[in-house]
Chain A
Amino acid sequence: MKLIKQVVVLLTLTLFTTFTAFGEDGVYEKAMAKAIETLYTTKQVDELIPVANQFNLIARKETSQWLPLYYEALSYLWLAGRSKNAAKQSGYLNQAQAVLDKAQTLKPNDSELVTLQGYLYMITVASDPATYGPTLAGKAIGTLQKAHQLNPENPRAMLLLGQMQIGTAQYMGGSTTEPCELVAKSRSFFAKEQGQTDLMPRWGQSMVGKVIEGCGR
């Protein structure tokens, strides 16, 4: 009996330590994967806040990782984009910018982070075109161009840059051919990403169709 007890204790202890040891690397990936899944699938605007909180929690623990900050900023951007209340919207945008600043000090000149910065400008302009249009529309394009240069294969940079340029061309008159080609080109790069299981950004593919629609006109 004593033996069994000892075995059990030993067994549980081993099990426990294995789990803890495993936790040191596996927990981050698991927690991230789960939160990313929720971020991509959630339909309710309100659910984005707990998601942002979750990324914030991970970012606080993993101070050298830029991805939790990237996703936290993205959560706030989507909150801002879907929010109807102007005061809340600007609060989310400020929060997104603060988080993104932290991420960019960790990883300067990263195409994904620069794309997110451009996306932030886009959403800011959309929130109040009269106020932000004159100053930020140009800045958004410039930032997305930089993101595209940093990684010419980043489909999100192509998509958003194209979307911005199509919008300006339609508003001001001008050719949409070039930006439309760029958006179309993003399709194949989005396709390449599919099925990959790392934690890198994978969003955007579903927006391509809508943006391309604007090209027919």
Chain B
Amino acid sequence: MKNWSFVFSLLLAIPTLAQVKIAGSVTDTKGEALPGVSVFLKDTYSGASTNEKGEYRFTATEKGSQMLVVSMVGYKEVQQPVQLDQETVIVSVTLEEAINRLEGVTITAGSFEASDGKKSVMLKPLDIVTTASAVGDLAGAINTLPGTQKNGESGRLFVRGGASNEARLFIDGLYVQNPFQLSAPNLPTRTRFSPFIFKGTNFSTGGYSAEYGQALSSTLVLNTIDYPARTQTDLSLLSVGGSLSHTQHSERTSVTADASYFNLAPYYGLISQNVRWTKPPVSADGSLHLRQKVGKQGLLKVYSLISTAQSALYQPDPANIDRERSVALNNRYVHLNSSYRDALSANWWLKAGLAYSFLNDQTQLAPAQIGRKERSLHGKLTLVNQVSQNISLNMGAELIASGYRQHYRDSAAASPKTALFSENLAGAFIEADVYVTPKLVARIGSRTEYSTLLQRGNWSPRINLAYKTGLYSQVSLAYGSFYQSPENDLLIRSSRLDFERANHFILNFQRVRQKQVLRVETYYKQYEHLVKFDKAGSRRYDNNGYGYAQGVDLFWRDTKTWRGTDYWVSYSFIDTKRNYRDLSALQTPSFASAHNLSIVFKRFIAPLKSQVGFTNSVTSGRPYSDPNVSEGEMRKTPVYHDLSVNWSYLHRSNIILYASVSNVTGRKNTFGYLYNPTPDETGIYRRREIGQGATRFVFVGLLVTFSTDKTANQLNNL
């Protein structure tokens, strides 16, 4: 019997002996318990997860040397050899946080990103077209963001005290020359490109990447849609024209062809205008967008736009405001943008791009006639290397070859004066993103350029730091110097000019939590080497101009408080002065208003199948000089106020009706004054207001989508 009991005890003992208890706890580097961590023996079924206290416990039948794996999403996996020769083995492990690009710290100083790929964005692509005041115009939507100074008579982007030419637009990384439509003096323009073709925008108000140069104030980087989801046809009937677009989609190739025609004559016939049009604006656009998948990961995108536009009107003559002069515009524009990207290996990416643009403007400012022709070719090659988990490199080189020719005639009978230049600008950049810790990231970049026209080179350092101060908040710092060649009109007059320069210093705080975004940014911008010339129009052009801009930008967006409601508030304060161009002293430029406030509101009302929204913009007075008071004393225009509303209604899944009205209150906004060059008999310089082309703009559109997929619609177009 004794022996039998031995046998039984042996039988019972074998499993207990064969099993080893493994237990312990898992903590993070701060000593906090980590629940939900997977702990197991490599290549076996033995394992468990940690509980709320970070403790785990399991039994294993394996013996001898084994590998214990401790793994959890967001942390670096630990593999630790264990010797399973005791009944109980205790192993406690500390896990180090892995760098998580998606939820971790990011470079944010200066930049507003709108993308559908990321969560923590300030603006979504849809916002560009659902913002009431924008009427589908990119710049119109961007003008509701902080850092911009709204100039209602221009429609262009004025960023942090910078003139409109200081903000540059890029499509798929390539320069876009003349992104705005040609417009008569003091009448607003629109961006040439349909917002529907972009999947993401990155609007930077300063401190941007070394990849971008030739912009003193701002970059607006647009990325076209990689690959459309399906074959569909879109038809838009608008109160001012219409467009037809068709996308043919297959596994590896997609082609979109688009034709649009706009004519404002019927609209101007219905709604009275403050401007006397002889030929209301007419334009026709055609575009072709090709995407081709190449190999496993390669993608080629080619976008081309051909556009022609005409308009004619009467405007007060600056030589004598009691008279009117005839103004006529005729514009042709071609833009071709092609880009290719592919993975060279697991860690190397290649991006190559080629852009061509051609502009031919004929402007009549009676009696003068001005013709402009501009061509540019931009080639760029970029390599991205993921050096290690913590370091990535972005480097590239580019060449912009451009030519500009201007014909000027004092009158139709006079012989033309021609001025022209051609320019080759070469640039190279290298930039490293270094994750020092999961909470601290540094972007250090360097850019250099050489211009054959200026016969000068430049070098600009760029530094960005971001530190995560809490689960939802971070602080960023940015510094950089930025160079830009003087404008075409200056380059044709003088050949001895240098690059203009701006230095940016930015401090940013951002908190993104549960669909609420708070951003506070303060900056100081220093302008150097700005072009100056004297009023008399002598031949003295130099780079002795200078200036500064400083201010605070606030942004608050909330999609959480009220269900179905999305609103944002942006406010900018700026103090800026410059002594440049023909100014004789340090002055606030006429395009810079000290206070800019925008409130954008959108609400989806399900029972009405409608989205309604409004934009309320208020801008403090802009400075102007009055020749009736002593020189140097600046006056201010009245406050600008605009309330725009919009409404979109989903009739059926593929039919959308859209309407918007700008300036519903009918306020008369004044952007500045046109003074007579000579005083009248009483010694007073008389003036005329520069106001709005029309009190209101009413826009109505019907958008229809045809697709085999019945749920497809142009909602993403609105």
Contact = CB atoms under 8 A, between A and B. Distances in A.
A135 interface: yes
Interface string A126-153: 0010111011011101100000000000
Contacts of A209: none
B119 A4 contact: no
B624 interface: no
A58 interface: yes
Interface in B687-718: 709-713, 715-716
A53 B653 contact: no
Interface in B13-60: 14, 18, 35-38, 40, 42-45, 47-49, 52
A128 B121 CA distance: 12
B650 interface: yes
A128 B653 contact: no
Contacts of B11: 8, 12
B91 interface: no
A50 interface: yes
Contact of A57 (B7, B35, B47, B125): B47
A134 B126 contact: yes
Interface string B194-220: 000001000000000000000000000
Contacts of A46: 35-36, 52
A49 B71 CA distance: 12
Contacts of B237: none
A8 B48 CA distance: 33
A174 B102 contact: no
Contacts of B711: 137-138, 141, 165, 168-169, 172, 174
Nearest to A4: B3
A138 B36 contact: no
Given A86-B514, A134-B715, A172 B119 contact: no
B456 interface: no
Contacts of B668: none
Contacts of A131: 116, 119, 121, 124
Contacts of B609: 172-173
A27 B45 contact: yes
B103 A90 contact: yes
Contact of A173 (B44, B566, B653, B715): B653
Contacts of B471: 87
A61 B102 CA distance: 29
Interface string B319-341: 00000000000000000000000
B137 to A, nearest CB: 19
Contact of B653 (A54, A58, A87, A174): A174
Contacts of B496: none
A50 B48 CA distance: 7
B116 A53 contact: no
B559 interface: yes
A191 interface: no
A169 B711 CA distance: 7
A21 interface: no
B19 to A, nearest CB: 12
Nearest to B606: A171
Contacts of A128: 119, 515
Contacts of A27: 45
A91 B120 CA distance: 13
B73 interface: yes
A56, A134, A168: residue with the most chain B Cβ atoms closer than 10 Å: A134
A1 B119 CA distance: 74
B291 to A, nearest CB: 15
Contact of A174 (B3, B514, B652, B715): B652
Nearest to A173: B652
B229 interface: yes
B124 A130 contact: yes
A168 B35 CA distance: 39
B651 interface: yes
Given A4-B7, A94-B102, A130-B559, A135 B44 contact: no
Contacts of A12: 10-11, 14
Given A8-B10, A57-B40, A142 B3 contact: no
A58 B49 contact: no
A36 to B, nearest CB: 15
Interface in A45-85: 46, 49-50, 53-54, 56-58, 60-61
A168 B653 contact: yes
Contacts of B44: 61
A203 interface: no
Given A172-B609, A173-B652, A174-B710, A138 B103 contact: no
Contact of A90 (B40, B45, B119): B119
A31 B45 contact: yes
Contacts of A138: 229-230, 709, 711-712
Contacts of B230: 138, 142
A172 B49 contact: no
Contacts of B713: 172
Contacts of B679: none
Contact of B43 (A61, A141, A173): A61
Given A130-B566, A169-B653, A174-B653, A57 B709 contact: no
B666 interface: no
Given A91-B103, A173-B609, A134 B515 contact: no
A95 interface: yes
A86 B119 contact: yes
A40 interface: no
A45 B700 CA distance: 49
Contacts of A1: 3
B122 to A, nearest CB: 12
Contacts of B45: 27, 31, 57-58, 61
Nearest to B40: A57
Contacts of B103: 87, 90-91
Nearest to A55: B38
A140 to B, nearest CB: 10
B74 interface: yes
Nearest to B654: A172
A134 B116 CA distance: 9
Nearest to A139: B229
B705 to A, nearest CB: 11
Contacts of A56: 38, 71
Interface string B120-150: 0100111000000000000000000000000
Contacts of B650: 171-173
A48 to B, nearest CB: 9
A171 B43 CA distance: 49
Contacts of A94: 102
Contacts of B119: 86, 90, 128, 131
A173 to B, nearest CB: 5
Given A95-B73, A141-B711, A172-B652, A90 B3 contact: no
Contacts of B7: 4, 8
A130 B121 CA distance: 12
B74 A173 contact: no
15 contacts: A8-B10, A12-B10, A16-B14, A53-B38, A53-B71, A61-B43, A61-B45, A138-B230, A138-B709, A139-B229, A142-B230, A168-B653, A171-B650, A172-B652, A174-B710
Sorted nearest first, the 5 A-B pairs with minimum C-beta distance are A53-B38, A50-B49, A172-B653, A49-B36, A134-B716
Given A138-B711, A142-B709, A173-B651, 14 more contacts: A4-B7, A49-B36, A57-B40, A57-B45, A58-B45, A86-B514, A87-B471, A91-B74, A131-B119, A134-B125, A134-B715, A139-B229, A141-B711, A172-B715
